[in-house]
Amino acid sequence: MPPSNHDLEGARIMVKLDDLLYARRMTLTELAERVGLTLANLSILKTGKAKAIRFSTLAAICRELECQPGDLLAYSAEES
Residue-number span of the structural domain to which 58 is assigned: 17-76
The pLDDT value given to residue 78: 73
Are 39 and 31 in contact, with CB atoms under 8 Å apart? no
Neighbouring residues of 4: CB distance < 8 A, sequence distance ≥ 6: none
Statement: residue 5 has pLDDT above 70:
no
What separation, in Å, do the N-terminal and C-terminal C-alpha atoms of the chain show?
Answer: 27
pLDDT band at 45 (very low <50, low <70, confident <90, very high): very high
- In angstroms, the Cα distances linking 70 to 7, 15, 31 are 22, 10, 18
Question: Is 52 within the bounds of a domain?
Answer: yes
So what's the pLDDT on residue 49? 92
**In total, how many domains does the chain have?**
1
Residue 5 lies in a domain: no
Taking alpha carbons only, the member of 75, 78, 62 closest to residue 13 is: 75
pLDDT at residue 77, as a whole number: 86
Query: What's 40's domain CATH number?
Result: 1.10.260.40
